[in-house]
Structure 1
Amino acid sequence: MPSRVASTAIDLRRTILLSRRQFLKSASLASLAGSAMTWAEPLTARASAMHQQMLIFDGHVHALDREFYHGGSMGERSNQGQWDLVRAKEGGEKAFFLSIFVPEEYYPGRFETKQTLRRIDHAYRQLALNRDKVVLARKASEVQAAAASGRLAAVLDIEGSYDLDGDLGVLRELHARGLSSAQLSAHNWNQHYADACCSPAKANGLTENGRKLIREMNRLGMVINVSHSADTTMQQAIEVSDHPVVATHHGLRSVNDIPRNIPDSLLQKLAAKGGVLGIQIGSEFAYPKEYAWITEHRRKTFWDTTDIPTRVKGKSIYEVDELVAPGYPMLGAEVPAAVQMGVDNWVDVVDRVIRLVGEDHVALGSDFDGGPTLARGMRDVRDLPMITESMLRRGYSEERIRKFWGGNLLRVFGEIAGG
């Protein structure tokens, strides 16, 4: 990536008022006077000790968006965003699905495949730069070995697989480059093999080529990720796949009725196949009261991307870089205390999943630095122990907490990718 992108992006950050970060913060400053964005309260000794002993395997992290667009190393503590390797370790994380994120701005110019290769190259350079802190993992045993060595394990997962076009050759090439997981639908747009959650139906789920792609992912031992997929796509993927299917960062539609959340009936089908639902950590998915406030002040839903073709028309890939750079890292909204989600409200969603399908099918899919609005008192990944505290207060066993934090996702990753 040319160095001019990073420098131009810094200038743009100072001047462009329509970035996601500034747009959210300017939503209604007057109403934020009562905001309670406080630091985390002290934990009990039991929760703190138990948390650090857990294998915490996060199903979805935007680990490198900030570094790709603005430079720097994910191995250095940042005062921006919600996640870096230093803070992740302090928060107890041992492994994570590293999102290779290709947003919609790259689609109209058909730059998405090139951008995927650039992002994978960047990921490898960052992994090499921070080899003392993180290692690539393609099997469950490699996740465990990394944890034993004191390093985090990174599993490459593409978010926004518009580039695949259902092409099995492209899939095999990306797998050979280290991609272990692929989100079926494009980020929020349909493409040529799978419908997304937030676009009008095109294929009514999967095309025949989409079914072939799922069977090839099964053969390669790749995780099939149905987050962002349409209901029809999710249902058909579960039916076609020989392996369990994972929704890495999701919520429940019975909690908040939005297209990005999964209906209870599909959750039950996903679990019956052995799959796992990663719960996204933000209030937008998990807390209707706060979501309603955020939506009102955004003046559009967070998946509305209809203006993108006009904004990127005629731009080169480097100009697209400059256009999107100010939006990274993606931050959650600042909200008044009266509507703010608490950690216990978020754990209520975990409770509901367990009541519906049992404790073997739920995990964390935080979406850190992907825009989630965190619970009251949570600064960033460092405050994950607050969730352990909440779970202990409501009587969760240590076994259940272990399953949630990493046991379930590790089990499914092992079944799909091998031990």
Structure 2
Amino acid sequence: MVVAVPFTIPKTNEDRNLDDVKALLDQSPLIDTHNDMAWSFRFALQDRISEISLYDNMSDHFAISHTDIPRMREGKVGAQFWSCYAPCSTQNKDAVRMGLEQIDVVKRMIKSYPEVFQEARTADEIESAFSNGKIASLIGLEGGHIIDSSMGALRMMFALGVRYMTLTHNCNTPWADALNSGYPNGGLTQFGRKLVVEMNRLGMMVDISHVSNSTMKHVLEESRAPVIFSHSCLQGLCNRERNVPDDVLKILAEKGGVVMIDFYNLYLTCSSRASVRDVADHIEYVRDLVGSQYVGLGSDFDAIPLTPRNLEDTSKYPNIFVELMSRGWSDEDLLDVAGRNIIRVMRRVEEVAVEMKNQLPQEDWIPDEDLKNKTCRSDF
């Protein structure tokens, strides 16, 4: 009697590597520091999150969509910083309200899907959520104009759970210059320097994506805690002002900070074409220049109109690590890039806040007559 033996297709090296990567990402959280889905709800649905299910494919609802629960789960996401963004046109108008509404969206989303999301505000809480099988959810503000030049508003945003603020978007604030914007402040003003210190005192990470070169350097001079680029690439591979120059990257590393690599094609390759290999190239560029402990992931998903091949949405994060694994990266270095680097920065930011706990809050303010709109550009 002939016994039929089931035929199985042997796994390729790439399949085996993907299995290895997914097993690795079960050990420590994969953390993305920049996703704009809250803005998608604000722009397309006026914050009405109850109208759709995050178990659906969000591409059916939003013109630009890379994120939903099934894709995040497939992509092994362990923690997500949800970006709360306000366009530059809202500066000195309704930016504060728009920021608050998106914070509300994030909080309602977490509450609506308690089986998936868990709010986190600290490094320990990220690890706790991960150990519970949940996606730790944190908040970042994209654009310093959202606090309307108010130390008090900054403190209230922190109380609501905001754990980083991007000092500018593509427009100046009265206290910090954005990139390619005329630079009337010469970088940070004295108020801006004091605001950085206040962020240190609170335990809020200072994010210098989008800011001018002078602002980057002033922040790195002033900050007592490590600084982040929440979603940026490197000028050494794509010479755009939006990207991080080598001299700033070296200072960032000396100060213990981290650059989280953006997935936007135009920042990766200075062209409309890019692949997951280009993301790996930027990660390796940081490693080769300053070390692998100073780089992570800040996708800019749900905002960018172009994504790399094989990195089209949140389900594809493991492909980054398959590529790096094929280049000989160790498991320990892969886990650092996946999330341990940003957790290290968060812990140090939290430690600095404890060290500064006896320092009085900053009470500086900018007179109303000095608050005025600056040049605004449309970019990502």
2:55 aligned partner: 76
1:5-154 alignment to 2 at 5 Å? 42=15, 44=17, 45-68=19-42, 69-70=44-45, 71-72=48-49, 75-80=54-59, 81-107=65-91, 110-154=93-137
Would you say the 8 A contact 2:30–2:338 is kept in 1?
Answer: yes
2:367 aligned partner: none
Q: RCO greater where, 1 or 2, for CA within 8 Å and sep 6 or more?
A: 1
Partners of 1:53 and 1:251 lie apart in 2 by: 27
In 2 relative to 1, CA 378–83 (structure 1 residues): closer, same or farther, beyond 3 Å? Answer: same
Would you say the 8 A contact 1:252–1:262 is kept in 2?
Answer: yes
Q: Pick from 159, 170, 182 the counterpart of residue 200 of structure 1.
A: 182
Partners of 2:268 and 2:185 lie apart in 1 by: 29
Partners of 2:69 and 2:87 lie apart in 1 by: 23
2:232 aligned partner: 250
User: Secondary structure of 1:384's match?
Assistant: helix
Partners of 1:257 and 1:196 lie apart in 2 by: 17
Partners of 1:105 and 1:135 lie apart in 2 by: 33
Partners of 2:312 and 2:232 lie apart in 1 by: 21
1:180 aligned partner: 163
> Does 2:152 match 1:169?
yes
> Does 2:344 match 1:411?
yes
User: What letter corresponds to residue 163 of structure 1 in structure 2?
Assistant: I
Query: How far 1:136 moved relative to its partner?
Result: 1.6
RMSD: 1.8
Would you say the 8 A contact 1:63–1:74 is kept in 2?
Answer: no
Q: Pick from 269, 272, 278 the counterpart of residue 251 of structure 2.
A: 269
Query: How far 1:42 moved relative to its partner?
Result: 4.9
User: What letter corresponds to residue 156 of structure 2 in structure 1?
Assistant: E
Can you give the 5+ residue segments of structure 1 that lack an aligned partner in the other structure?
1-40, 295-339
Partners of 2:180 and 2:116 lie apart in 1 by: 37
Partners of 2:173 and 2:31 lie apart in 1 by: 30
Identity across matched positions, percent: 31
Question: CA offsets, 1:149-203, max 9 Å, x none?
Answer: 1111111100012132432111111111221111112x10001111111311010
Partners of 1:142 and 1:387 lie apart in 2 by: 25
Query: How far 1:372 moved relative to its partner?
Result: 5.2
Question: Which portions of structure 1, spanning 4 or more consecutive aligned residues, are displaced by more than 4 angstroms?
Answer: none
> Does 2:195 match 1:213?
yes
2:286 aligned partner: 353
User: Secondary structure of 2:303's match?
Assistant: coil
User: What letter corresponds to residue 296 of structure 2 in structure 1?
Assistant: A
Partners of 1:95 and 1:74 lie apart in 2 by: 20
> Does 2:261 match 1:279?
yes
TM-score (norm 1): 0.75
Would you say the 8 A contact 1:75–1:84 is kept in 2?
Answer: yes
Structure 1 stretch 370-379 or stretch 87-96: which is displaced more? 370-379
User: Secondary structure of 2:292's match?
Assistant: coil
